[in-house]
């Protein structure tokens, strides 16, 4: 096959360690082990797709069997062994795809083949790609050979080189017999320089912004980046340049500035322009899931813009977009962004419920708009018109936090759900009858008076009080707390006091629950009673007796 007719990913595949990018430490370690004659029985390379696992496996095979030796490895003019290994037709280097040969019989054939020594090189080498696809029996068949591979008359031996994208699927008994190397994603700056060099070699006209978009989409995979570059170069005519706008159309991505503008319009409550701008993006052929993922990424940037640098965004943003996000983020409450994140995550699950996914996205944008327009930095509601809608959303989010309480404790504070506004006469009457609740004990008493025994039970048994202030309760809780507790308590407090209450979760343990306090008192009473002279005298007469409860004189 003519080299010029190959796709870029094959044409520029590294042939020696010096050609690799982003894996310098691994390359140095392998070369040193060969020089010191401390070559492991098996290498295991793991990492995401397209970062060089199989490529490094072949380079290691060349390094072990190069006719010039490790101190003078072939660089350009390859020896016969290096040429054959590069072309995958060396008789002593067998490449096997575990995805197509997964059974124990395939591995037995491999082991049988290993009995015969190499013909033209020092080592016999088995390269097994996607090794995690082997069956359990196939792995077990390998164990003995991995631990004690055959040694040959020429002083060499058998070496295994494994490659996998799913390290967790490999049995620990196999892992312990391999020297493992975790290949990292290629840094954005390194990958950008690399594909820019390839672009120049191919005499392609591609703008730096388009190259940065390719780097972003490839997510650290060299093969993906080269495939995208190849596609971009083939799409345009010879004299045309692949600019950012063209690249976005070709790869199905849209201008990030449009997304930032949507975000800004949501914060302003401009419903008409939000929907119009989204529909323009949708008309560009953007998939709803791609839009959601990019929107989540943008929420992350808004929340953490002060903690990251422009380069830390992995080319997701340019200078102008970075500065604009930094400016807008000054006026956004962090809690709003956390709520945005959770609502957007939930929308991913809802996409497949409605047949037209586009409608789901539009409703998400409207929900975010209603939420942002009523949430201030002090968690106060600024618009009576939207209070019911917003409070419902916030109570829903609180219920989510109860389901996943270990992950989102102290993230979201509940704003009570407010009932519809009644006529003034009823409001005035309700204000006159409102109940003053200033302490936790008073709250328990009111629950008893109002016959809210389920609520009282939750407060006494499953709640640990951290702080009780005016219109604000801070608590921690155990795993038995009812998921509707916050919503129920919020509604009742509003009914009883005619005021909104904030109920927040704390990482602090708080006081012991009421039930724990009562149990401790009971334990102490029993302990003191057992130490009394009367009880000891009683035991002398009834040796099998046991004290199980104690009542004070004033108790029935």
Parse the chain into domains and list their residue ranges: 3-182, 188-251, 256-373, 415-505, 517-556
Q: What is the CATH number of domain 256-373?
A: 1.20.272.10
What's the pLDDT at 42?
A: 94
Interval 254-263: pLDDT, tens: 667 888 899 8
> What per-residue confidence (pLDDT) applies to 408?
37
Q: Mean pLDDT over residues 75-104, rounded?
A: 89
Q: How far apart are CA 352 and CA 23, in angstroms?
A: 40
- The string of pLDDT tens digits covering residues 220-248 is 899 999 999 999 988 877 778 888 888 88
pLDDT of residue 374: 52
Query: What confidence score (pLDDT) does residue 417 get?
Result: 38
pLDDT, tens only, 510-556: 777 777 777 777 788 888 888 888 877 877 777 777 877 777 665 54
Q: What is the pLDDT, as a whole number, of residue 57?
A: 94
Whether the CB-CB separation of 472 and 501 falls below 8 Å is answered with yes
* Range with the largest mean pLDDT of 130-139, 420-429, 443-452, 539-548: 130-139
Quickly tell me which residue has 């996943």 as its tokens.
Answer: 404
CB-facing half-sphere around the CA of 278: CA atoms within 13 A:
28
Four-CA torsion 454, 458, 460, 463, nearest 10 degrees: -160
pLDDT of residue 158: 92
Is 70 exceeded by the pLDDT of residue 362?
yes
Query: How large is the average pLDDT for residues 33-61?
Result: 92
Class of domain 3-182: alpha beta
Q: Distance between CA 48 and CA 303 in Å, rounded? A: 28
- Quote the pLDDT of residue 99: 84
For 467-499, how does the pLDDT look when each residue is reduced to its tens digit (9 = 90+)?
888 888 888 888 788 878 888 888 888 888 888
**In terms of pLDDT, which residue wins out, 1 or 197?**
197
Phi/psi for 463 (5° steps) reads: -115, 135
How far is the C-alpha of 282 from the C-alpha of 137, rounded, in Å?
50
Ranges 231-235, 314-318, 413-417, 508-512, most confident: 231-235
The predicted pLDDT at position 511 comes to 79
> If you count DSSP H runs as helices and E runs as strands, how many of each does the chain have, helices first?
25, 9
Question: Poorest-confidence range of 250-264, 294-308, 367-381, 398-412?
Answer: 398-412
256-373 has the same fold as 3-182: no
Report, as an integer, the average pLDDT of 159-187: 93
Q: What is the pLDDT of residue 311?
A: 63
- Is the Cα dihedral 375, 376, 377, 380 positive or negative? negative
Average pLDDT, the chain: 81
**Confidence class for position 376, pLDDT limits 50, 70, 90:** very low
- Residues comprising the chain, all counted: 556
| Nearest residue to 342 via CA among 408, 277, 390 | 408
Q: Are 178 and 40 in contact, with CB atoms under 8 Å apart?
A: yes
CATH class entry, domain 188-251: mainly alpha
Please indicate whether residue 322 or residue 105 has the higher confidence score (pLDDT). 105
Q: Where does the pLDDT of residue 432 fall: very low under 50, low under 70, confident under 90, or very high at 90 and above?
A: low
What local confidence, expressed as pLDDT, does residue 26 receive?
92
Mean pLDDT confidence for 95-115 = 88
Q: Judge residue 2's burial from the number of C-beta atoms within 10 Å of its C-beta, 0-12 exposed, 13-18 middle, 19 or more buried.
A: exposed
pTM, full prediction: 0.59
- The band of 433, judged by pLDDT with boundaries at 50, 70 and 90, is low
Residue range 295-301: mean pLDDT, rounded: 89
Is a pLDDT exceeding 50 seen at residue 97?
A: yes
User: Tell me, what's the pLDDT at 196?
Assistant: 93
Whole-number percent of the chain with pLDDT over 90: 26
Q: In terms of C-beta density within 10 A (0-12 exposed, 13-18 middle, 19 or more buried), how is residue 195 classed?
A: buried
């Amino acid at each position: 096959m003519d080299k010029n007719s190959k796709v870029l990913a094959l044409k520029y595949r590294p042939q020696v360690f010096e050609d690799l990018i982003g894996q310098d430490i691994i390359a140095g370690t392998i070369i040193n082990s060969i020089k010191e004659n401390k070559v492991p029985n098996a290498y295991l390379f793991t990492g995401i797709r397209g970062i060089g696992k199989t490529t490094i496996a072949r380079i290691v095979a060349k390094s072990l069997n190069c006719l010039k030796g490790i101190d003078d490895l072939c660089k350009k003019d390859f020896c016969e062994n290096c040429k054959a290994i590069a072309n995958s037709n060396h008789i002593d280097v067998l490449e096997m795809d575990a995805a197509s040969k997964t059974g124990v019989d395939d591995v037995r054939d491999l082991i049988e083949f290993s009995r015969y020594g190499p013909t033209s090189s020092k080592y016999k080498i088995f390269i097994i790609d996607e090794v995690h696809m082997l069956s359990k029996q196939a792995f077990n068949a390998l164990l003995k050979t991995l631990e004690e591979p055959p040694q040959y008359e020429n002083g060499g031996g058998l070496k295994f080189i494994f490659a996998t994208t799913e390290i967790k699927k490999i049995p620990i008994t196999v892992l312990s017999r391999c020297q493992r190397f975790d290949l990292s994603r290629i840094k954005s700056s390194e990958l950008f320089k690399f594909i820019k060099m390839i672009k120049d070699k191919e005499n392609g006209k591609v703008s730096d912004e388009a190259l940065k978009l390719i780097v972003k989409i490839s997510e650290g995979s060299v093969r993906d980046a080269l495939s995208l570059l190849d596609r971009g170069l083939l799409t345009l005519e010879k004299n045309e340049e692949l600019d950012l706008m063209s690249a976005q159309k070709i790869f199905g991505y849209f201008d990030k500035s449009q997304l930032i503008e949507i975000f800004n319009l949501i914060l302003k409550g401009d419903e008409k322009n939000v929907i119009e701008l989204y529909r323009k993006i949708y008309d560009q052929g953007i998939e709803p899931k791609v839009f959601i993922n990019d929107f989540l990424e943008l929420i992350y940037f808004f929340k953490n813009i002060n903690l990251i640098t422009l380069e830390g965004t992995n080319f997701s943003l340019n200078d102008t977009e970075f500065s604009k996000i930094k400016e807008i983020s000054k006026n956004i409450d962090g809690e709003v962004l956390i709520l945005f994140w959770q609502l957007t995550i939930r929308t991913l699950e809802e996409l497949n419920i409605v047949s037209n996914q586009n409608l789901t996205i539009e409703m998400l944008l409207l929900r975010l708009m209603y939420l942002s327009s009523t949430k201030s930095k002090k968690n106060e509601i600024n618009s009576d018109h939207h209070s019911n809608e917003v409070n419902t959303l916030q109570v829903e989010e609180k219920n989510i936090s109860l389901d996943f309480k270990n992950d989102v404790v102290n993230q979201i504070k509940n704003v009570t759900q407010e009932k519809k506004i009644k006529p003034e006469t009823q409001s005035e009457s309700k204000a006159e009858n409102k109940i003053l609740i200033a302490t936790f004990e008073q709250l328990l008493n009111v629950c008893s008076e109002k016959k809210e025994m389920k609520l009282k039970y939750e407060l006494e048994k499953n709640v640990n009080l951290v702080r009780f202030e005016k219109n604000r309760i801070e608590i921690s809780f155990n795993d038995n707390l009812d998921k509707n507790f916050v919503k129920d308590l919020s509604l009742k407090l509003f009914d009883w006091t005619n005021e909104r209450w904030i109920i927040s979760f704390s990482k602090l343990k708080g006081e012991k629950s009421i039930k724990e306090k009562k149990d401790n008192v009971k334990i102490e009473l029993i302990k003191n009673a057992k130490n009394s002279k009367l009880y000891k005298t009683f035991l002398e007469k009834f040796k099998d007796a046991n004290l199980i409860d104690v009542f004070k004189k004033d108790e029935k």
